[in-house]
Structure 1
Amino acid sequence: MAELKRTPLYAEYKKLGAKTVDFGGWDLPVQFSSIKGEHEATRTKAGLFDVSHMGEVLVEGDGSLSFLQKMLTNDVSKLEPGKAQYTIMCYENGGTVDDLIVYQLETDKYLLVINAANREKDVEWLEKHQENGVSIKDLSDEYVQLALQGPKAVEILQSITKTDVSEIKFFRFIADVSIDNVKDGAIVSRTGYTGEDGFEIYLPAASGPDLWQVLLEAGDKHGIRPVGLGARDTLRFEANLALYGQELSAEISPIEAGLGFAVKTKKEDEFIGKQVLKKQKEEGPSRKLVGIEMIDKGIPRTHYEVFDGEKPIGFVTTGTQSPTLGKNVGLALLDCNYTEMGTEVTVQVRKKRLQAKVVPTPFYKR
């Protein structure tokens, strides 16, 4: 058995009695108190997440823009220093290598934030296509990443920095922000994975525990809660934010997953998978990700099959009882003929087939 990796904050959450699990080779907190309580705190007050297991890759050099235009589906030329962009890296067949956020730090200098489980694969993929004038460095072990999310996020962060964080617009960031009682400067980005307002904060690994403590202390009077993977998943699911390995994979394209907004087939650059994705965009894919809500009593879990009568028509990618809505809902990748709103289908829940219907997503909007 390979030893589980731990973030620099492991000791901090163990002090708080967190229950940890193996998540893609990392020993991470699934919950600190209760998933429902942490979910509700993030929706109504503030949640603090350690997401330091995520990968960070620096791409720089005078060929970096043309290289990233070839590797990524979104139009990287629209970036400027201080701007971030959600984008996808695809295979030639349109399947997904990974979804990620790219930050333009300076001209010809970009930080790619990738999914932890894909780190080695992503770096290999980038290096396989590396061109002259491009440097690729995996800096994942040098960073910690904390996410402060929820309606009180701005107020909490503002109380510990002189930088006006309310001025940071969505998908913008400020580099080298000074935070009280934290030695290193931080990249503060107005992004998140919960459907709430908030920030993702990157800084050198050694300063992670200090930032964690400072944020919890500053947020105490606002009802901040440390949050584990359990609520992170229910929060992103309600907001219809894709999870790699479930809504996206080597077999599922971003068009099928409803992420066409991040696939710019009209950009001049020929990116990997462009022709397949362009065809899917123009003709429509043969299957599509939709929301489903259970009519019968039961929860549509990941990988459960979906049927029309005896005919298999797709499968559930993520499903749970929504803590915010109190309903049993799921995301399902279905044959396009069954994706109209209100269409009734059945879900194989253990030994029973239970009625469900197609509903709009996201399930939650703030």
Structure 2
Amino acid sequence: MKTTPLYTRHIELGARMGEFGGWDMPIQYKGILDEHAQTRTKASVFDICHMGEFELSGPTALADLERLLTCRLGSLAVGQVRYGFMLNDDGGTIDDLTAYRMADDRFMLVVNAGTAEKDAEWIKSRISETTRFVDLSAETAKLDVQGPESRKVLEDVLGGVPELGYFRFATLDNGNLISRTGYTGEWGYEIYLPNEEALALWDRLVAHDLCAPGGLGARDTLRLEMGYSLYGHELSDSRTPAATSRGMFIYLEKDFIGKPNVAADLADPEFLLVGLKFASKRAAREHDKIYVEETAVGEVTSGSVAPSLDVAVAMAFVKPEYAELGRELQVEIRNKRFPAEVVDLPFYKHGSARG
């Protein structure tokens, strides 16, 4: 498995390690519940060095990206970030990613670790000769500081933080990039820096009395509470993103790869992604079947106990006629059925992300 520049430090901190997207990553340190609460109340730093970063530049970069991605990029200002999907010819999701507009003719894409190599090959085979593609992944580290105290932490550690709106980025005095997006629902930042600088910054962040390391386990419970889709669960190359996004992050006023099937799915969806809330802590798991009486109407994509809510929640694909809010469905968990209510997303509604 691949390792990040912080691997040795994770071992020294007693992290429980595990495979994720071909990388040996920290799953937890003190424990998922502690790290989840730390992020909701103070701040956590996450090692996200495994993610991929690509730069596309040149006179045809914008036109190529408009065709490659579902989101609108022409209206993106320099210094702004946008989330979207990259699809195959059938409309299946190759990856979900964020696009950073670095200049009028230069963009950075941040892609998932497990799909980075596939993404790079797909992009390189479908861009113009006048678009330059550079894979920055091997030289770029990424640390995410998430939580309501994340600004305080970074101000102390960095000596100041630029004023950033949500989904905006800026360049720090040392040339490193800082953005404010996040996946936890809390105020947070992402710092992109050279690999050789990552360990020193990590150590300074962890030493702050308001900040602690967080692993992938807490990262998953935090994103689930916010109803954010995860590639390989809610998103896959065999399904369009229509059921997941319900049209968000998909700009139908332009042509993009996979558009016909996406448009058809939006107009007449076979399934819709919904939130399910249980009355107990009995958590459903991916692929658990959902029933109305004896009729199967869908299946779970992600499920867990939501630490902030103290009950089990899940995201699931269900047939549209069973997706209305307040509907009670039955989820089969280990051969026993449990009632769950269809609820609005996000499950957790008190995040500090937008300030």
- TM-score when normalising by structure 1: 0.92
**Which residue matches 2:204?**
214
Q: Which of 149, 162, 173 is the aligned partner of 2:169?
A: 173
Q: Deviations over 1:172-220 (max 9, x none)?
A: 1012x14xxxxx5310001111110110110111101011012222x32
Q: Which of 54, 57, 70 is the aligned partner of 2:67?
A: 70
- Structure 2: distance between partners of 1:70 and 1:28: 34
Mapped pair 1:27 → 2:17 = no
Q: Deviations over 1:90-142 (max 9, x none)?
A: 12222111000011112211110000000111111111212121111211111
> Per the alignment, in what secondary structure is the counterpart of residue 206 of structure 1?
helix
**Which residue matches 1:260?**
247
* 8 A contact 1:297–1:354 mirrored in 2: no
- Structure 2: distance between partners of 1:196 and 1:100: 19
1:82 partner amino acid? G
> Per the alignment, in what secondary structure is the counterpart of residue 245 of structure 2?
coil
* 8 A contact 2:169–2:177 mirrored in 1: yes
Q: CA deviation at 1:253?
A: 2.0
Task: Between 154-163 and 248-257, report the one with greater CA deviation.
Answer: 154-163
Q: CA deviation at 1:251?
A: 2.3
Q: CA deviation at 1:297?
A: 6.2
**Which residue matches 2:256?**
271
- Structure 1: distance between partners of 2:170 and 2:127: 28
Q: Which of 222, 225, 230 is the aligned partner of 1:235?
A: 222
- Structure 2: distance between partners of 1:265 and 1:141: 34
* 8 A contact 1:83–1:173 mirrored in 2: yes
**Which residue matches 2:342?**
358
> Per the alignment, in what secondary structure is the counterpart of residue 262 of structure 1?
coil
Q: CA deviation at 1:164?
A: 3.9
- Structure 1: distance between partners of 2:22 and 2:274: 30
Mapped pair 1:340 → 2:324 = yes
* 8 A contact 2:240–2:261 mirrored in 1: no
> Per the alignment, in what secondary structure is the counterpart of residue 43 of structure 1?
helix
Q: 1:38 to 1:21 in 2, by over 3 A?
A: same
Identity of aligned residues (%): 41
1:360 partner amino acid? D
- Structure 2: distance between partners of 1:53 and 1:164: 24
- Structure 1: distance between partners of 2:280 and 2:150: 38
Task: Between 91-100 and 231-240, report the one with greater CA deviation.
Answer: 91-100
- Structure 2: distance between partners of 1:250 and 1:236: 21
Q: Which of 298, 306, 315 is the aligned partner of 1:314?
A: 298
- Structure 2: distance between partners of 1:67 and 1:296: 48
Q: CA deviation at 1:31?
A: 0.3
Q: 1:259 to 1:100 in 2, by over 3 A?
A: farther
Q: Deviations over 1:43-98 (max 9, x none)?
A: 00001100000011111111100000000000111122211111111122221110
Q: Which of 3, 12, 21 is the aligned partner of 1:15?
A: 12
**Which residue matches 2:212?**
225
Structure 1 residue runs without a partner (length 5+): 179-183
* 8 A contact 1:303–1:317 mirrored in 2: yes
1:170 partner amino acid? Y
Q: CA RMSD in A?
A: 1.4
- TM-score when normalising by structure 2: 0.95
- Structure 2: distance between partners of 1:297 and 1:137: 46
* 8 A contact 2:154–2:160 mirrored in 1: no
* 8 A contact 2:155–2:161 mirrored in 1: yes
**Which residue matches 2:273?**
289
1:275 partner amino acid? P
Q: Which of 114, 119, 141 is the aligned partner of 2:116?
A: 119
* 8 A contact 1:296–1:356 mirrored in 2: no
